[in-house]
Amino acid sequence: MPRVTETTVKRADAPQALEYNWGGFDMRWQLEALGGGTRLTLWTNIGHRFISMGAAGWHICFDVLDRLLNGTPIGRMVGPEAMKFGRWQRLNAEYAKQFGIEAPNWPPQAAQKS
């Protein structure tokens, strides 16, 4: 069953920017010309403790988008399904290291074995 989250659009400036509040998180997407292409930038507020988890999740979302745009779609992958994806665990650990935090042990069954 789809999960419904209240969303309030704060600014829609097509085709450059979209800002909204989604489930308590402020989000801003921005497009800008860069060389012969386009740069997509995403800003969001997320608790520092969960920043590596969020970064890993958004990384996978962008991978899914990239595959779709390249004509090799892999389908929707969000929430718990994305966390079961083996790559999410590695990305979570890599982003935690990059941000200088301890990687949250989530989901618990995915804990690294010593």
Residue 49: burial class (beta carbons within 10 Å; 0-12, 13-18, 19+): exposed
Q: Taking CA 3 as the corner, what is the angle to CA 46 and CA 66, rounded to the nearest 5 degrees?
A: 65
Q: How far apart are CA 88 and CA 58, in angstroms?
A: 10
The pTM is what? 0.74
Mean pLDDT of the chain: 85
**Bridging pattern class, strands 17-22 and 7-13:** antiparallel
Confidence band for 110, pLDDT divided at 50, 70 and 90 = very low
**Bridging pattern class, strands 25-34 and 17-22:** antiparallel
The residue to which tokens 């790559």 are assigned:
87
pLDDT at 106: 61
Q: List pLDDT tens digits, range 36-72.
A: 999 999 999 888 888 999 899 889 989 899 999 999 9
